[in-house]
Chains A and B, each alone.
Chain A
């Protein structure tokens, strides 16, 4: 480092590079087209969570709807959309599991006594 101002310039370049790397890292998931494998992994996770919700007798209709949408999109080869719906389905199924689990105690707050 020969002088102070050069040092600053280098630092700015570094910052730009780091920023660019961060942006590409953040975008990686969505910028790259989803593959069938990505979709199938997400679908398996969603179906397994929904199965657990079923074991708890607490599935949601919207989970099934998201699973159906995912399969339909995959059939037409739109794996971006299929992946997104499968991920939605998993989130919904997980929420229904949380609901079933917390209601095991929480229902009592509602009881007329």
Chain B
């Protein structure tokens, strides 16, 4: 920040106003372009749309195993459950479809979005629980099977649709994006790693038995089935797990920080197709 202070001081002595430092105004579109260019350049052999396949885009052997597995996908069970849950009326007779645009079908690519009434980011998981609560039902855990099943179904009905996250020209929305970016790059935990340490600087590399997914398109396959979990995991569960790996105490699922993070990561993956639910080794 000292450089900034010097600039400000210089600007002040030159009699320049705030306009002189407008270059620092958040520019999500430029950020997204730089972000995507970085990965495209780093992995010239990976087709753009393939970035949504996480570790499989990085490793041919894994990919072969995955393609075999996809014939009997392990998330099938969750998908079926999610479909049923989604259709089943609440006690008051309403359904999830009443809470979402287009009855909740084919809309995954628009989440998270910025709610200008509340001034905050609304993720799909949060919207689902709000729907439940508005209809007199108890919210689901953000890290457990029910939420994973519901989001699996909603992702499935949106497969192939390209992420289309909007950032309105509202200082609060820009701030949410900026804060999400800061969270993504901030080192934390005793291991002193940021999300970027693993998913920007080291995608394709092995960490124990796993191959690190690139940050570009990293949420497009959510939720995912993981053998290690012997079950499904939501976006919340994955982020919490990644935090713990660095020996950082995770925040509460759907805390402002996580919502902003999801907003940032989704926006910089705009243009990539929904591929969820995913299956991982």
Task: List chain A positions with a Cβ less than 8 A from chain B.
Answer: 57-62, 64, 92, 95-96, 99-100, 103, 105-108, 110-113
Chain B residue at minimum C-beta to C-beta distance from A92: B190
- B181-193 Cβ-contact flags toward A at 8 Å (1 or 0): 1100111111010
Q: Could you show 29 A-B contacts with beta carbons less than 8 Å apart?
A: A57-B257, A59-B249, A61-B189, A61-B190, A61-B249, A62-B190, A92-B190, A95-B190, A99-B187, A99-B188, A99-B192, A103-B186, A103-B187, A105-B1, A107-B186, A107-B187, A107-B194, A110-B185, A110-B194, A110-B197, A110-B200, A111-B181, A111-B185, A111-B196, A112-B31, A112-B34, A112-B38, A112-B200, A113-B34
Q: How far is the CA of A61 from the CA of B251 in the complex (A)?
A: 12
Residues of chain B with a CB closer than 8 A to A61's CB = 189-190, 244, 247-249
Quick one: CB contact mask for B220-250 with A, threshold 8 Å, 1 for yes?
0000000000000000000000001001110
Smallest Cβ distance from B145 to chain A, in angstroms? 25
With a cutoff of 8 Å between Cβ atoms, the chain A residues found around residue B43 in the complex are none
Per CB-CB distance, the 4 closest pairs between chain A and chain B, nearest first, are A59-B249, A107-B185, A107-B186, A110-B185
Interface residue? B66 (CB, 8 A): no
A73 to B187, CA, bound (A): 32
Q: Kindly state the separation between the CA atoms of A95 and B257 in the bound complex, as whole angstroms.
A: 21
Query: Knowing that A92-B190, A107-B194 are A-B contacts, what are 16 other residue pairs whose CB atoms are under 8 Å apart, sorted by A's residue number?
Result: A59-B248, A60-B190, A61-B189, A61-B190, A62-B247, A64-B249, A99-B187, A99-B188, A103-B186, A107-B182, A110-B185, A110-B187, A110-B194, A112-B35, A112-B38, A112-B196
Q: Identify whether the interface residues of B are mostly helix, strand, loop, or mixed.
A: mixed
Interface size in chain B (residues, C-beta < 8 A) = 24
Using CB atoms, name the residue of chain A closest to B196. A110
For window 1-36 of B, CB contacts with A under 8 Å fall at 1, 31, 34-35
User: Which residues of the partner chain B approach A58 to less than 8 Å between Cβ atoms?
Assistant: 188, 248
Q: Which of A62, A106, A112 contacts B187 (CB 8 A)?
A: A106
Which residues of chain B come closer than 8 Å to A62, judged between CB atoms? 190, 247
Give every chain A residue within 8 A of B186 (Cβ-Cβ). 103, 107
Interface residues in B226-281 (C-beta closer than 8 Å to A): 244, 247-249, 251, 257
Contact check, A103 vs B188: say whether CB atoms are below 8 A apart: yes
CB distance from B118 to the nearest CB of A (A): 21
Q: How far is the CA of A95 from the CA of B247 in the complex (A)?
A: 13
- Cα separation A61 to B248 with both chains bound (whole Å): 5
Residue of B nearest to A112 (CB): B38
- Residues of chain A within 8 A (CB-CB) of B34 are 112-113
Complex CA distance for A100 and B181, rounded to whole angstroms: 15
Q: Which among B1, B190, B192, B196 has the greatest number of chain A C-beta atoms within 10 A?
A: B190
